[in-house]
Chain A
Amino acid sequence: MRKISLYPRLAILNIKSNRQFYLPYILTCIATIAMFYIMTFLTFSDGTLSLQGGDILFFILKLGMIIIGLFSAIFLTYTNSFLMKRRKKELGLYNILGMGKGNIAVVLFFETMFVAVGTIVLGLALGILLSKLVLLLLYKIVRFPVPFGFEVSLEGLTYSFCVFGAVFTLILIFNLISIRHASPIELLHGSNVGEKEPKVKWAAAFLGVISLSGGYYIALATENPLQAIMLFFVAVLLVIIGTYLLFTASSIAILKRLKAKPGYYYQPRHFIPISGMLYRMKQNAVGLANICILSTMVLVMVSGTVCLYLGTEDSLFAGYPNDFSVNVRAPEGNARENLRRLIEQTIAEEGYTGENTQDYISLSTQTYRDGNNLCLSPDYGYDINNSAIISIMSQSEYEHFSGESVALSSCEALLYSSIDNFGSEINLDGSRFEIVGDMNAPSLAASPSISTIIDSFCMVVSNESFEMLKEKYNDVTESWYYGFDIAAGSEEKLSFYDVLTNAPVSFPSDSLDGGYVSLSTSCREAERSFIYSMNGGFLFLGMFLGLVFLMATVLIIYYKQLSEGYEDKQRFEIMQKVGLGKDEIKEAVRSQILVVFFLPLGMAVIHIAFAFKMITKLLLLMNLTNVSLFAVCVVCTVAVFAIIYGIVYTLTAKTYYRIVE
């Protein structure tokens, strides 16, 4: 009986006596489990799927669930391996005192099991407690009505059990393997193997620089948003590779160069830091690169999603310039007049008046541009880079629309172009037009963001030329846009939208005195809930993952400081004996710690600075054109992050000094 109960008691004793290492690990486990539960809870919450825009939110949340699951598996095993490395000596001692590897395995089994059971129970409890709060927050962000009641998600519980059960099993297996392969002597000396001076890997250092500059170049050189979406991941990959190589190889190369200069190296201010840094970089390069990448991810994610969310109204207005719009493709005969009368009648019947009405017919198509030539199916090469959108309006439509009167001959045109200094001539598949003036296009209800994604042109030609072009592009249909605003609240707009959607459909088509190919209506108010559920979902995910990554960053930093503290302790004792004052030691340590600490942050900020342009291009795809908003978001996120980082630094530095002294 006594023998059986010895192992669990030993396991508990071990956890207690190693609490300096174990506690942060346990807290992280609890937090990750709670977060995973909350994510699963939200994903499968009844409210999520049943509401409008819920399927998008469901998708986003599910994505988050998978990311958190994967990330916590990687991260917890990583932290655990750190723990094990620190504890090798202790386990070696057990081995020497007569415990077989089997017995140690049993102790480790109990330790892992206690941690697993304890953290899963506490994590789930915390998750359940917080889940309602987070649900309220999420629904507020995505503007869903807040449900009443308190529920515990069965899916959440099962998923969490399965995922973290698997993670802890994995951790246990790792631990057992590492014990199996170690001899007692190795175990005893596990954490202080003689470190060799790192060698310079020139090829890797060079490759790092190349890779990083390649990534930066892509980020800076990509002009086209559609291209940006494809190249973004290439750039991210290059930057990640570059960061790892830079931290591991280039940093050592630089330090070695400094060391090779006796005049610089043999100075009290440089002597200890440089040699110290060399070793720190060797041991910590990967950890620092991890911190850098994680920080960059947090910064990009949080600033991007915050910006997206704050810019929701902007992008909504960009995509939907009017409260309501009716788009009719290829109206024939008197269809346009009759439909317009019908719409106006509907507005009046509901007791509203249409405002800011926009009413025009245009011919819009995608073309490919080569200099001044625009062709639908060109003989020169075409791809995303040279594609362009053109909208053509007849002179009379434009006069009606803008209220200006213009005089155009058959080979003259007014042009609005998204390209500066387009020139004085435009060639549409062989039809040449001389550009005689600017067209006041921004007031046109074409989405302005379109013009920033790809080149876009609007042009006005004489009525005859318009007919000619219509003939020429006979498979391009002209379309009629009718947009208007009404003065009403959100609810009224939505119910009016119901009426409007049904009106043209219920209207007998023979009374149109003409026909059309298709008719679509849209309402900004109806889109709003959709966009908010998407952008809000992204914001939530960004914040949530940001929090998870931040936690990971903090923990890595903490462990880094802790292990360095133990390693440096002996070093500083020696230095003190050789004649280094406490203040001098502190000075030397400070400079090293500061570099080690703020190098990743600085690098992350540089990454962000380079990524800025590319991210604005990506945001364009989400109809967000407000670059300064994004700039503000980035600056604020970086500032908040730096403050948190600074606080973590101060706290962990204290632990470090306590160990060293």
Chain B
Amino acid sequence: MTLLEVKNLKKTYVTRFGSVKVNALTNISFSVESGEFIAIMGESGSGKTTLLNILATLDKPTGGEVLLDGGSTLKIPEKKLASFRRDNLGFVFQDFNLLDTFSLRDNIYLPLVLAGKKHQELDELIIPIAYKLGITEVLDKFPYEVSGGQKQRCAVARAIITKPRIILADEPTGALDSHSADSLLEVFRDINADGQTVLMVTHSVKAASCAGRVLFLRDGEIFHQIYRGERSNEEMFAVISDTLTTMATGGEKNA
């Protein structure tokens, strides 16, 4: 079942006085099936973040369409965007984006509280998730008291607690050491195995090699894509590395 469909997405940035135009996204089309784990790779400036921001409804494209469950996200009125995001999307960011005024527990509760859930429900929802992510012990600590890995698990917990249609992750391992990064990727695989759709933007070959499909972005276009098929993580790693090398050296010819 197709969950997310991106059709001919274009984004052009115009400098303040309109003299210079920059194409961040030239023409992007792809679709995401429900339950998929997709990684989007590309160098800096390839349009990854712009794409993610548009998918997150934080930014508007210049042209094209984004359909979630067949409905266009671009037609949602400004006022309803916040609740749309709250109900349908979960976010995980590179720099965690936890509120330092809240304990981890309250950070995870935040979207639920905003959705008006009763506090008894909150407790029921958080227990299994915290257990699964291994942060039960640190729930009542504050962001500055825990490690980066724990912060990011907390951010993941916050993203999945609302049972979103899709999780958008922006370089989730970017600020973590290799050990924490590995176990975080484990977490992503686990939640994906539970049926959660994940769309992850990353630089890291290792992170991307966990995904079921990898899209390669360059100069605002999808350059290439790889399906995992029956490959192991290691095989995926090798294929992704090769692709990146090709893109960096003789990529132009294939474009």
**6 closest Cβ contacts across the A-B interface?**
A579-B86, A581-B82, A194-B144, A266-B119, A262-B119, A574-B97
CA distance A579 to B110 in the complex (A): 9
Contact A266-B85, Cβ < 8 Å, known A580-B114, A583-B79: no
B158 adjacent to A578 (CB under 8 Å): yes
Near A by CB (< 8 A), chain B positions 40-90 give 56, 58, 79, 81-83, 85-87, 89
Complex-state Cα separation, A271 to B114, whole angstroms: 8
Residue A276 lies at the interface, judged by CB distance under 8 Å to chain B = yes
Determine if B171 is an interface residue (Cβ-Cβ < 8 Å).
no
Tell which of B56, B99, B117, B119 touches A575, judged by Cβ atoms closer than 8 Å. Answer: B99
Known: A267-B113, A271-B110, A584-B114. A578 touches B100 (CB 8 A): no
Chain B residues with CB under 8 A of A197: 101, 103, 142
- A276's closest neighbor in chain B, by CB? B101
Interface string of B91-112 (1 = CB under 8 A from A): 1010001111111001001110
Judge whether A400 is part of the interface by a CB distance below 8 angstroms: no
Report the Cα distance A574→B58, complex, angstroms: 12
Given contacts A263-B119, A275-B106, A582-B82, contact A577 B97 (CB under 8 A): yes
* Chain B window 173-215, contacts with chain A (Cβ cutoff 8 Å), 1 for yes, 0 for no: 0000000000000000000000000000000000000000000
Given contact pairs A267-B113, A577-B91, A578-B86, A571 touches B99 in the complex (Cβ within 8 A): yes
The answer to whether B82 touches A579 (Cβ under 8 A) is: yes
Q: Which residues of A contact B113 (CB under 8 A)?
A: 266-268, 271
The contact of B98 among A263, A271, A574, A582, by CB within 8 Å, is: A574
Excluding A267-B113, A268-B114, 18 further A-B contacts by CB distance (< 8 Å) are A196-B142, A197-B142, A265-B119, A266-B113, A266-B118, A268-B113, A268-B116, A271-B114, A576-B58, A577-B56, A577-B91, A578-B91, A578-B110, A578-B111, A579-B111, A579-B114, A580-B86, A581-B81
Tell me whether A278 and B82 are in contact in the complex, defined as CB-CB below 8 angstroms, given that A263-B119, A268-B116, A577-B58 are known contacts: no
CA distance A275 to B102 in the complex (A): 7
Can you show 13 pairs from A to B with CB atoms below 8 A apart?
A195-B100, A266-B113, A266-B117, A266-B119, A271-B110, A271-B113, A575-B99, A576-B58, A577-B85, A577-B91, A578-B110, A579-B83, A583-B79
Task: Indicate whether A516 reaches chain B with its CB closer than 8 angstroms.
Answer: no
B3 within 8 Å of A (CB atoms): no
CA distance in complex: A580, B111 (Å):
8
User: Given A196-B144, A266-B113, does the pair A580, B82 have CB atoms closer than 8 Å?
Assistant: yes
- State whether the Cβ of A279 lies closer than 8 Å to any Cβ in chain B: yes
Q: Is B122 an interface residue (CB 8 A)?
A: yes
> What are the residues of chain B within 8 A of A194 when measuring CB–CB?
100, 143-144
Inter-chain contacts of A582 with B (CB < 8 A): 82
> Which residues of B are in contact with A by a Cβ distance under 8 Å?
56, 58, 79, 81-83, 85-87, 89, 91, 93, 97-103, 106, 109-111, 113-114, 116-119, 122, 142-144, 158
Q: Please, how many angstroms separate the alpha-carbon atoms of A276 and B117 in the complex?
A: 20
Q: Is the CB of A581 within 8 A of B144?
A: no
Interface residues of A (CB under 8 A from B): 194-197, 262-263, 265-268, 271, 275-276, 278-279, 571, 573-584
- Given A578-B91, A578-B158, is A275 in contact with B97 using a C-beta cutoff of 8 Å? no
Q: Look across to chain A and name the residue whose beta carbon is closest to the beta carbon of B102.
A: A275
Total cross-chain contacts (CB, 8 A): 80
Name A572's closest neighbour in chain B (CB-CB).
B99
Name A261's closest neighbour in chain B (CB-CB). Answer: B119
- Cα A194 to Cα B141 in complex, Å, equals 13
The CA of A439 and the CA of B116, in the complex, are separated in Å by 75
Question: In the complex, what's the smallest C-beta–C-beta distance from A582 to chain B, in angstroms?
Answer: 7
| CA of A139 to CA of B60, assembled, Å | 67
**B105–chain A nearest beta-carbon distance, Å:** 10
Most B CB within 10 A of own CB, among A197, A267, A268, A578: A578
Query: In whole angstroms, what is the CA distance A267 to B117 when docked?
Result: 8
A581 vs chain B, min Cβ distance (A): 3
Instruction: Tell me if B100 and A576 are in contact (CB < 8 A).
Output: no
Taken together as a complex, chains A and B put the C-alpha atoms of A279 and B122 apart, in Å, by: 24
A196: chain B residues at CB < 8 Å are 142, 144
Closest chain B CB from A481 CB (angstroms): 73
Verify B82–A571 contact, CB threshold 8 A: no
Give the docked Cα–Cα distance between A268 and B111 (Å).
10
Q: Which of B82, B98, B119 contacts A576 (CB 8 A)?
A: B82
Residues on B with beta carbons closer than 8 Å to the beta carbon of A581: 79, 81-83
- B120 CB to closest chain A CB (Å) equals 8
Asked whether, in the complex, the Cβ of B101 is within 8 Å of the Cβ of A279, the reply is yes
Complex Cα distance, B87 from A266, in Å, reads: 18
Contact in complex: B101, A275 (CB < 8 Å): yes
Given contacts A577-B91, A584-B114, contact A266 B109 (CB under 8 A): yes
A574 touches B82 (CB 8 A): no
CB distance from A431 to the nearest CB of B (A): 77
Whether A278 touches B144, Cβ cut-off 8 Å, given contacts A262-B119, A578-B158, is no
Closest B residue by C-beta to A259:
B106
Which chain B residue lies CB-closest to A262? B119
Contacts of B100 in A (CB 8 A): 194-195, 571
Kindly list chain B residues whose C-beta atoms are within 8 Å of the C-beta of A579: 82-83, 85-87, 89, 111, 114
Query: Could you tell me the distance between the alpha carbons of A583 and B100 in the complex, rounded to whole angstroms?
Result: 22
User: Which residues of B are found within 8 Å of A576, using beta-carbon distances?
Assistant: 58, 82
Q: How far is the CB of B51 from chain A (nearest CB, A)?
A: 16
- Report Cα–Cα, A203/B153, bound state, in Å: 38
Which of B82, B87, B93, B109 has the largest number of chain A CB atoms within 10 A? Answer: B82
B-chain residues with CB within 8 Å of residue A578 when the two chains form the complex = 85-86, 91, 97, 110-111, 114, 158
B residues near A276, Cβ cutoff 8 Å: 101
Q: Chain B residues near A266 (CB, 8 Å)?
A: 109, 113, 117-119, 122
Distance of A534 Cα from B113 Cα, bound (Å) = 62
B contact residues around A580 at 8 Å (CB): 82, 86, 114
Q: Kindly provide the distance from the CB of A269 to the nearest chain B CB, expressed in whole angstroms.
A: 10
Within the complex, the shortest CB–CB distance from B185 to chain A, in Å, comes to 22
Q: How far is the CA of A197 from the CA of B100 in the complex (A)?
A: 9
Q: How far is the CA of A579 from the CA of B103 in the complex (A)?
A: 18
Residues of B within 8 A of A265 (CB): 119
